[in-house]
Amino acid sequence: MNYYFSDEVTLYRKPMKKIYFLKVSSLLLLTAGLLAASPKLTAGSASHFAARAATPPVVNMESFTVRDDAAAGSFVGQLTASGSNLQWQLADDETKGAFRLDASGRIYVNNTTLLQSNRGKLISLFVSASDGVETSNLAEITIAIQDTYINIPPTLDPIADRAVCAGRGADTIQLTGMSAVEPDQTYSLVAIADLPMLETLQVTNDGQLTFRVKTGINAGACMVTVMIKDNGGVRNGGQDTRTRSFNITVNGIPNVGIVSDKGTVVPKGELLTLTASGADHYSWTPAPGLEGETGAATVTVKPVKTTRYEVVATNNSGCQDTAHIDIRVVADFIIRANNVLTPNNDGRNDRWIIQSLEDYPENEVIITDRAGRVIFKQRNYSNTWDGKLNGQRLAEGTYFYTFSVFNTVTKTTDVARGYITILGD
């Protein structure tokens, strides 16, 4: 309310907006005191006192709007009030610092972080204006902070289709290009398949996707969709997800078989043909008696002892299988060794030598005399026997050997027998 004086010094008042409170200046009180003490008041003196009773400024109630992405220093609005030569003050800011008010009543953006943290809100500033004598009551100024934020969708690179072979273990794909884009956001990843072909399907936030095809599924395909989601929201039409899909194709393992044109039991030195089938490409493992091209479906072999032949077969999908066939040689097991010893250290026939001894691992040699007494015995013989017993040269005559070899393929023992003649100088 404002106070006025009449020529007869009668005090009266007019109602104002209830947002303001009665405020009587010290000058008005002093003037009222002087009037009461004066015995006589003329019309001229009353007018003089009325002029001295100044009216406080009245701030106009205003509202402004500002974007949440406005830069620091951006102009928001100009305050107005009654009176002249006004000096403005900011008493309180609901945002605790997003705005500043200069002495001329201009409002500016002060802190963009605080501005953005209040996006979408209607906030209040409490201000006052002074004309140098009187100060207005606090006035509430409202500012609507527009929420203009639009979330940028996260990123994820395309994922190439993957072909796998049935029966394999877990397969892993390293995803790339994951980002929430905005530096203050985080993201998460999930993966789903459109068909129940996978026993395992999981993805970690560092982009490692792992899957395993169910046992018993030998062929087929499914589509896997990976979704990346950030925490930026979808307001104002923003996007917080992106998806990438790829196909997993399961290829069958080749059913490989091997046949021999002459069966699996042959005489020693027999030439036979082995043929593999069930795949598109073959690779035979080199083995004794294998002849010709090892990358063909058909090979020729001439085993001198029981031998296992193995082939790695690959189909056009890149899936592999391995097969083998055991060819057993039924002829007598014969070794090539000198049957005469002349242990005189002349460098000829001084030791009993078995040729190609390295072809017979896990062997044992036993040498006896005519009476059956063991003269020499050694496991894993190394061509060292020199016709002596306990360092003494044996008498001339005939001695008998037994050479045994464990066959790692057939898990049986092959035995060769023969005689050795020791001669004098």
Is residue 40's pLDDT more than 50? Answer: no
Is residue 354's pLDDT more than 90? Answer: yes
Complete DSSP assignment for 237-273? G---EEEEEEEEEEEPPP--EEEETT-SEE-TT--EE
Complete DSSP assignment for 124-139? EEEEEEE-SS-BPPPE
Q: Using N-to-C axis directions, what is the helix angle for 26-37 and 43-52, rounded to 10°?
A: 160
Provide the strand spans (E) within 318-411.
320-329, 340-341, 363-368, 374-379, 388-389, 392-393, 397-407
Is residue 10's pLDDT more than 50? Answer: no
Is residue 380's pLDDT more than 70? Answer: yes
d(CA 211, CA 204): 12
pLDDT above 90 as % of the chain = 68
Residue 332 has a pLDDT of: 61
Which comes out higher in pLDDT, residue 407 or 405? 405
Average pLDDT across the chain, whole number: 85
- CA-nearest of 412, 406, 411, 387 to 397 is 387
Q: Which residues contact 306 (CB under 8 A, 6 or more apart)?
A: 326, 327, 328, 329, 407, 409, 410, 412, 414
**Res. 329 pLDDT band, cuts 50 70 90:** confident
The H or E element containing residue 210 is: strand 208-213
Residue 409 has a pLDDT of: 62
Is residue 331's pLDDT more than 70? Answer: no
Three-state SS at 72: coil
The H or E element containing residue 33 is: helix 26-37
pLDDT by residue (tens digit) across 183-204? 989 999 999 999 999 999 999 9
What phi and psi, each to the nearest 5 degrees, are found at residue 381?
-55, 140
Stretch among 136-145, 146-155, 321-330 having the lowest mean pLDDT: 321-330
Residue 253 has a pLDDT of: 92
pLDDT by residue (tens digit) across 140-150? 999 999 999 89
Stretch among 1-10, 25-34, 237-246, 330-339 having the lowest mean pLDDT: 1-10
**Res. 35 pLDDT band, cuts 50 70 90:** very low
d(CA 8, CA 200): 99
Torsion angle of the four alpha carbons 140, 62, 101, 125, in this order, in degrees rounded to the nearest 10: 30
Q: Which long-range contacts link 407-410 to residues 24+ away (Cβ below 8 Å)?
A: 407/305, 407/306, 408/361, 408/362, 409/306, 409/307, 409/308, 409/326, 410/306, 410/326, 410/328
Residue 316 has a pLDDT of: 93
Which comes out higher in pLDDT, residue 311 or 35? 311
Q: What is the mean pLDDT of residues 148-153?
A: 93
Look at the block and give the residue holding tokens 């193995």: 310
Which comes out higher in pLDDT, residue 243 or 302? 243
pLDDT above 70 as % of the chain = 85
**Res. 320 pLDDT band, cuts 50 70 90:** very high
Is residue 45's pLDDT more than 60? Answer: no
Neighbours of 353 (CB within 10 A): 14
Is residue 410's pLDDT more than 70? Answer: no
Which comes out higher in pLDDT, residue 119 or 409? 119
pLDDT by residue (tens digit) across 80-100? 999 999 999 999 999 999 999
Structural domains of the chain in order of their starting residue, each with its CATH number: 2-52 (no CATH), 63-146 (2.60.40.60), 162-251 (2.60.40.10), 257-329 (2.60.40.10), 340-422 (2.60.40)
**Res. 14 pLDDT band, cuts 50 70 90:** very low
d(CA 89, CA 125): 11
Q: What is the mean pLDDT of residues 31-47?
A: 42
What phi and psi, each to the nearest 5 degrees, are found at residue 9?
60, 40
Tokens coding 127: 């201000």
Residue 310 has a pLDDT of: 95
